[in-house]
Chains A and B, each alone.
Chain A
Amino acid sequence: AAGVIQSPRHLIKEKRETATLKCYPIPRHDTVYWYQQGPGQDPQFLISFYEKMQSDKGSIPDRFSAQQFSDYHSELNMSSLELGDSALYFCASSPLGLDFIDTQYFGPGTRLTVL
């Protein structure tokens, strides 16, 4: 079965640079979520989109922005990168279920290292 695709899988950037992470949801999934997982930490929710509109927002820094496109893929844009942004970034997708809460299926993650 098709899974969530994230690219790139690994990314190395310098401080103050920008980065763009891409997420391609499972086919027919219309909701996309972004999470950040620091070393030894639990995943922290950043932001989600349903039908290209922001659905929920968590602790996403102002330096980060995200959007969902007409083909449902999503991009997370990160500017003025800091050392503390080094983490594993997960994208997840879910279908809109009849009971309105559906399982979030996670991609393999993008490991971002900021030097």
Chain B
Amino acid sequence: AQKVTQAQTEISVVEKEDVTLDCVYETRDTTYYLFWYKQPPSGELVFLIRRNSFDEQNEISGRYSWNFQKSTSSFNFTITASQVVDSAVYFCALSEGQAGTALIFGKGTTLSVSS
């Protein structure tokens, strides 16, 4: 069965600190996709990144970077030089197989960045 675990329920940092959000997944499929979404206090779900199981290249987008390691079934997310606007709930999600298939979300990590 597929499962996503985000062990960190809440993280608090001070502005300009770096922070890493952990995500561990379980799946029996060889083809799968991993996602990160951000949910700010306003409530919407904002797509951040998608990774497929055949592409283990790490990715950097501005202050955001992602580390995908199939050997440890992890897809971790690092925010460099955090800012107050980064305060949100971050969800890691997994999807297998075909179009129209559900996203399986982790429980989310609440990140609080104080000034």
Contacts of B47 in A (CB 8 A): 103-106
A109/B43 contact (C-beta < 8 A), A43-B91, A99-B52, A101-B95 known: yes
Contacts of A56 in B (CB 8 A): 100-102
Q: Most chain-B CB neighbours within 10 Å: which of A41, A97, A101, A108?
A: A101
Chain B, interface SS category: loop
Contacts of A31 in B (CB 8 A): 99-100
| A interface bracket (residues with beta carbon within 8 Å of B) | 20 to 34
A104 to chain B: closest residue by CB? B103
CB <8 Å contact, B44 and A109: yes
Contacts of B101 in A (CB 8 A): 48, 55-56, 101
Give B contacts to A, CB under 8 Å. Answer: 33, 35, 37, 43-47, 50, 52, 91, 95, 97-108
